[in-house]
Amino acid sequence: AFAQAPEVKKAPAKKAAAPDPSFAPITEVAGLPRVLLIGDSISMGYTLDVRERLKGRANVLRPGENCGDSGRGLRSLDKWLGTGKWDVIHFNFGLHDLKYLDAAGKYVPPDQGKQVASPEDHERNLRAIVARLKQTGAKLIFATTTPVPDKSSGRVQHDELRYNAAAVRVMKELGVAIDDLHAFVQPRQDKIQLPHNVHFTPDGYRQLGEVVTASISAQLPATK
Share of the chain above pLDDT 70, in %: 93
Pairing of strands 139-143, 177-179: parallel
Mean pLDDT for the chain overall: 94
The pTM is what?
A: 0.91
- pLDDT tens digit string along 81-101? 999 999 999 999 999 999 999
Q: How far apart are CA 183 and CA 147, in angstroms?
A: 9
Assign 203 a pLDDT band (cuts: 50, 70, 90): very high
Q: Under a CB-based contact definition with an 8 Å cutoff, are residues 163 and 145 in contact?
A: yes
> Which alpha helices (DSSP H) does 82-199 contain, by range?
119-134, 160-174, 181-185, 189-192
Distance CA 82, CA 62 (A): 11
Cα 129 from chain centroid?
14
Which DSSP letter does residue 84 get? S
Backbone angles phi, psi at 50, to 5 degrees: -65, -45
pLDDT tens readout for residues 120-136: 999 999 999 999 999 99
Cα(71)–Cα(97) distance, rounded to whole angstroms? 8
